[in-house]
Chain A
């Protein structure tokens, strides 16, 4: 399938950029005129992925996060990548309520939210090299 449009952005792992990333992703996808519900789901999933990169990938130190959005006629593909610590055990990280940092009063629901709000989620991670989160969302209800 041929992409209709594509964009890539890069930003530093500052928590204020969680808002920046979700607004940018939603603005880009808005050109396909999806429903408000779909845009809200995308905003939430992007926020979770970027937050994971900031808290876990870089442990709140400065690093680079990239976000690529590719728009197809019926869906959007979003890839968020960091070059930080990586995840040792992806299945454990994805388990609902699991958090490696309970002191932060986090819910441990990040991956569960991404899985629930998007149509597909793939996580690739190499300890010491970084993590890539790839998600897709249909832009029309099937």
Chain B
């Protein structure tokens, strides 16, 4: 599991690599939140192209980040989810709450 960051204007692009589960999500959340605080950004883009597995812990991670980003008036979006991740996003209705490119 790893996470990489890039800034594009007022958006923080977060690329998560590897599995998102209960085990990895705690450290992922900490790393994403601390980067979001120090960078001069308002929006967040979660790039899921390199995620190899995601269970409902990923839904918790996405909804928690959505809340944080909204609290500073920003928007969260999700890009490049794989088919099995799209299934999870649709099942939990996250695709209706967060902008996704699916």
Across-interface contacts of A112 in B (CB, < 8 A) = 56, 91-92
The answer to whether B91 touches A18, judged by C-beta atoms less than 8 angstroms apart, is no
A16 to B55, CA, bound (A): 14
In the complex, whether B88 has a CB less than 8 A from a CB of chain A is yes
Given contacts A106-B60, A107-B63, contact A113 B21 (CB under 8 A): no
User: Which of B55, B60, B88 has the most chain A CB atoms closer than 10 A to its own CB?
Assistant: B55
Q: Which residue of B lies closest to A54 (CB)?
A: B22
Across-interface contacts of A16 in B (CB, < 8 A) = 23
The answer to whether B53 touches A113, judged by C-beta atoms less than 8 angstroms apart, is no
B interface, size bucket: 10 to 19
In the complex, whether B84 has a CB less than 8 A from a CB of chain A is yes
Q: Which residue of A lies closest to B92 (CB)?
A: A109
Task: Report A27-49 residues with CB < 8 Å from chain B CB.
Answer: 37, 40, 43-44, 47-48
In the complex, whether B59 has a CB less than 8 A from a CB of chain A is yes
Count of chain A residues near B, Cβ 8 A: 23
The answer to whether B21 touches A106, judged by C-beta atoms less than 8 angstroms apart, is no
A22 to B56, CA, bound (A): 14
The answer to whether B23 touches A113, judged by C-beta atoms less than 8 angstroms apart, is no
The answer to whether A107 touches B29, judged by C-beta atoms less than 8 angstroms apart, is no
A107 to B88, CA, bound (A): 12
User: B-side interface residues toward A, CB under 8 Å?
Assistant: 19, 21-23, 29, 53, 55-57, 59-61, 63-64, 83-84, 88, 91-92
Q: A18-B21, A18-B23, A22-B53 are in contact. List 17 more A-B contacts (CB 8 A).
A: A15-B21, A15-B22, A15-B23, A19-B19, A19-B23, A37-B83, A43-B53, A44-B88, A47-B53, A48-B56, A51-B22, A51-B55, A51-B57, A55-B22, A106-B60, A109-B56, A109-B92
